[in-house]
Chain A
Amino acid sequence: MRTLAELETVIAAPLPTPDIEAAAAGLLGAAEEVLEHWVVAQGQTPTTDTREGFRLLALHRQGARGDASFNACRETCREVAYHYNLITMQPDHEKSAERLQMMGLVTNHLYLFISGKLQVAGLGEFCCSSKPIRSAQDTEKTMRKEA
């Protein structure tokens, strides 16, 4: 699994249009890795299952289990999958390059949303989705102090 910084670079990099399907697969893979970071931060092993044909959607479901507010990125994940389908099912479409660019923006949104949560998870209650992580850290700190 690449680091978040590496993923940021990959997602933000200009997209190679000659091999549009490979570029779409690259973005889909990067999106999966972003979700893997979230799942790992929750103390779980990222699933290898798929949902509706996409591991990305299975990973989102895993990340949202017991944490309904994580669904704030559900549609973003579905849009990544939708754009992947658009590009790979119609690679010769006149708007393929634009579709790929849009897939890049949607993937970037997923990255920003999740990396933002991870970055500030220990700093405060900035978002309801970070609560389980923060609470666990607070409990650990309290236990260490008491010990």
Chain B
Amino acid sequence: MSTTKDKYKKVAYYPGCALEGSGHSYNRSTKAVGKALGLDLVEVKNWNCCGAMEVKNIDPKIQTYLSSRVMSTAANEMDMDVVMAPCNGCYHNLKKAEYDLKNDQDSVEVVDRLSKKAGHKTYEAGQVETIHALDWIRDAIGEEGLKARVKKSLEGIKVANYYGCMYTRPRHIFPEKDQGPGSESTSKPHFMDDLLAAAGAENVDFPLKTACCGGAHTLSDSETSTKLVLNILRAAKMSGADVIATECPTCHSGLEMHQIRAEEQYGEKVDIKILYFTQLLGMALGLKARKVGVHENISDSIRFLKEKGLG
């Protein structure tokens, strides 16, 4: 008899554009963790951009179509039930498309017209379930399962878990959240905290865990982005953290780049490490730092990790 856990053991993997570029270490570590946990990631064939913010701001319906095509490929060409998107932007956009196709007839019509024009089956709401990498590990393995597989505990590492602003917002596109015990909270997300605690880390109380990282401002107003990141770094440090754990490539790159920029602009060096949660989990599972792409990060965490007996 198949269980809920089995459902998530083999999922369609939608890395999205960022994970092939600036977020490559997130891609690498997600795949490495999946392999170490015996989970099967099947990359969505010929996937396209989710529509990101650029397309969405020009025409939201085109964004809905682009995201729907990814889900259509997974459902109709790969016969998959679950699409896993580790990028917050992709995850958010696929969930938004799902919501729109369930609730907005105009979106249904536009997506149907464009799908026919592009020559593929139209995605219908409910054909797949879109999940984040956090849901994936939590639902396929669970905290207890993870604990049992830890080879090098993260004990002694204090972590500020940073979720960014798109993982839980807007609330209405995430109907599975805020459903009581066991579900994710949109105001105080905790899945990353739970997984890292299971791997031995000590989570700190971090008040800016869902605050804006300034990612969308980076090109138009990088000054504000740097100040926002500096503020996040200071708050994490003040919370007692050694590491900020991330689960979004935009947030991660922003934190790393503006950490350097803040030092140059304001002469303020906030000594805190920035690592993807998959990198931390991978090392807890006994993988080498290189295997989870720590060398691809902009900030240098190698010495810190060695001191902690990891990597």
A contact set with B: CB distance below 8 Å: 68-69, 71-76, 78-79, 82-83, 98, 101-102, 105-106, 108-109, 112-113, 115-116, 119-120, 123-128, 131
Contact with A along B244-278 (1 / 0, CB 8 A): 00000000000000000000000000000000000
Bound complex: CA A118 to CA B208 (Å): 21
Bound complex: CA A83 to CA B221 (Å): 29
Interface segment, one of B35-43, B72-80, B122-130, B209-217: B209-217
Given contacts A68-B170, A126-B219, 20 further A-B contacts (CB under 8 A): A68-B169, A71-B169, A72-B165, A75-B209, A76-B211, A82-B207, A102-B238, A105-B235, A109-B231, A109-B232, A109-B235, A112-B227, A113-B212, A115-B224, A116-B221, A119-B221, A120-B220, A123-B220, A128-B216, A131-B57
- Does B224 lie within 8 Å of A72, measured CB to CB? no
Q: Which residues of B contact A131 (CB under 8 A)?
A: 57
- How many residue pairs between the two chains, A and B, have CB atoms under 8 Å in the bound complex? 87
Q: Which residues of A contact B217 (CB under 8 A)?
A: 116, 120, 126-127
Q: Which residues of A contact B33 (CB under 8 A)?
A: none
Q: Which residues of A contact B208 (CB under 8 A)?
A: 76, 79, 105-106, 109
Of the four ranges (under 10, 10 to 19, 20 to 34, 35 or more), the interface on chain B belongs to 20 to 34
Query: Is the C-beta of B234 less than 8 angstroms from some C-beta in chain A?
Result: yes
- Does B228 lie within 8 Å of A126, measured CB to CB? no
Q: Which residues of B contact A98 (CB under 8 A)?
A: 238
> Could you tell me the dominant secondary structure of chain A's interface residues?
helix
Given contacts A71-B170, A109-B228, A120-B217, contact A128 B53 (CB under 8 A): yes
- Does B211 lie within 8 Å of A119, measured CB to CB? no
Q: Which residues of A contact B210 (CB under 8 A)?
A: 75
Select one of B188, B228, B235 contacting A116, CB under 8 A.
B228
Given contacts A68-B170, A102-B207, contact A112 B224 (CB under 8 A): yes
Residue of B nearest to A64 (CB): B170
- The smallest C-beta distance from B251 to any residue of chain A, in angstroms, reads 12
Residue of B nearest to A79 (CB): B207
Select one of A78, A101, A105 contacting B231, CB under 8 A.
A105
